[in-house]
Amino acid sequence: MCKVEFEQAKKRAEELKPLLKYYTQKYFDDEQVVSDYEYDMLMRELKGIEKEYPELITKDSPTQKVGASIKKGFEKVTHEVPLQSLQDVFSFAEVMEFDERMKKAAEEYNLPLDYVVETKIDGLSSALEYKNGVLVRGATRGDGIVGEDVTDNLKTIKTIPKKLSEPIDITVRGEVFISKDDFDKLNEDRLMEEEGQFANARNAAAGSLRQLDSKITAKRPLDIYIFNVQKSDSIEFKTHYESLLYLEKLGFNVNPVKVLCKDIKEAIEEIKKIGENRDKLTFGIDGAVVKVNNLELREKVGTTYKTPRWAVAYKYPPEKKQTIVKDIVCQVGRTGAITPMAILEPVFVAGSKISKTTLHNGDYIKEKDIRVGDTVVIQKAGDVIPEVIDVVKEKRTGEEIPFEMPTVCPVCGAEAVREEGEAVLRCIGIECPAKLYRSIIHFASKDAMDINGLGDAIIEELINRKLISNIPDIYNLTLEDVESLKKNGKKFAQNLINAINESKNRDLYRLINALGIRHVGVKLAKSIAKKYKTMDALMKASFENLCLKEDIGEITANSIYEFFRQDQTVDLITKLKKAGVNMKIQENENVVTDEKFAGKTFVLTGTLETMSREQASELIEQHGGKTSSSVSKKTDYVLAGEEAGSKLKKAQDLGITIINEQQFKDMLGN
């Protein structure tokens, strides 16, 4: 052994192990930070080093482990039959080598050799346990030996039978996944909601199945394909293919791609066929699996700690395709974020048809110099969201058109603003149809106009039925309109109409907060209402006048000033006035009874026994003090209730005076 080569190999192995551990943990935490292909290549490199230098193999090496740790909040389940991973291969030569090993074993034990080729579904492996034909438990793979009890979550998947057609005891293994169409729709919905997009369907499926709240899981479009009998005491099979047909008979949703091949030549042809037809599959795959069909031969061949010796997974290389940017259009999310999208000449990449992809923001477009008409390279390695990774500039003809982000909202024509330090361009029009749903949710929320009964689902239904098309339409709703939303909805309708009418008399600060002005929350809305007294005075306030207020910086002042310069805002306020909504500070609103807390800043934390934190804040303000959301050296008092958190500790560290609820009352003189 060459000492220099050994030291180099050792150094590289020490680099690869923590890196692969990190990638593995992220993968099982449903956050994929590298593509499957990059991960596979690094793992392959480490396996090669350990094969050449076995003394470098350690117990904690990623090559010796399956899966990752159990998520907190789930009960542990020990699998009676381990849920192993598969040995990956990346060439047909390696598939042939596998066949040679199986041929020798078949000859040694005088057993027939044929294969079953199946798609390797890209999802989360799970085991389902049935007693007397009834589903009693479901678990994730976990580390292969111990998984997570996700029975309630698995029961939300419609294709999992709760009861089998025969009363048998059986444990089966399957792959939970989200179909291509469902995944695309899920991400489109999240894009419009401005929630983080799932990197790929596998992460989406895994994250959905491993939710601690099964109600969230039930909302996700999960499916499952069963691909193996793990354990059965009541029936024996001679071949794997026979067991799959029996599982279908029992009512399971079995992997639809399962081809019986008489030899390895047929198996390789089937792998090629699957690769060529990936785009036609309704579900994502990350390879094709070749399995020995004869179960007795499987038992003779056995397994390693991590993988069965009787199967291999052929991994397809990542695909990159060239296509043309036909156009760049902008979508407006529900909070007003304007996102550019590339409209592409349709192209199949990694098994799915790509006709559009996000370009994130204007900076991304400029950085890559993406123009309408450009030939671009699209990559979707490991079924990751398609992305423009490069522009083929040598194919430019000179007719390509540079793209500029819009200065007005493409939906409503209101001003589009990009604030300092942000990459996102936003529509600030309060009547923008794209923002309507989110705007009304905020308008009706507890800290805003507090319209009890006007929840998310009711708002969505009102919009879908075209009963409201802007915020003031809330005040034009009739009993008949609301009754139509529910069966026997008279009582509900009357209560909601009453709540809407009551909201007309809310404090001015609530209306200011309800408008959803960027950077203006409840606390600042109270302060603004106290200073300007009426909505008209606030609307007329100059930028300079707004800046004179100590708790309003230039960015916030500009946001308020520009908001009230919009035609949509003027129109909205006019309609709300006409509907009878209060537009001025009320006599009892923010009345300062004395100055005993003048110049004092309070921070509230934990749960108070006899009052809410909001009520305590109002008392502080009525006595001339103010509240803050964070503890600093400028804090005078921290009012701490039950289960006070990190703010209490920070106050202790800074030596801030900490008071309890009774001490606070004593200070008030009550």
Residues marked active site are found at 120
Q: Are 607 and 641 in contact (CB under 8 A)?
A: yes
Tokens of 308: 């069965």
Q: Assign 354 to helix, strand or coil.
A: strand
Give which of 275, 669, 591, 481 is closest to 267, Cα–Cα. 275
List helix spans (H) across 541-622.
543-547, 554-563, 567-579, 613-622
The H-or-E segment that residue 417 falls in is strand 416-417
Q: What ranges make up the beta strands (E) of 122-218?
A: 124-131, 134-140, 146-148, 170-177
Tell the residue number behind the tokens 């890196």, with chain if given. Answer: 19
- Give first-to-last CA distance, the chain, whole Å: 85
Whole-angstrom distance, CA of residue 561 vs CA of residue 554 = 10
The position carrying tokens 């529509």 is 427
Residue 431: CA count within 13 A, CB half-sphere: 20
10 Å Cβ neighbour count for 358?
Answer: 18
CA atoms within 13 Å, Cβ hemisphere of 349: 26
Reported in sequence order, the residue ranges of 150-294 that DSSP labels E, i.e. its strands, are 170-177, 223-232, 258-261, 285-292
d(CA 292, CA 308): 10
| 384, β-bridge pairs | 200
How far apart are alpha carbons 60 and 179 in whole angstroms?
Answer: 35
Place of tokens 């551990």: 21
Structure tokens at 468: 């409201």
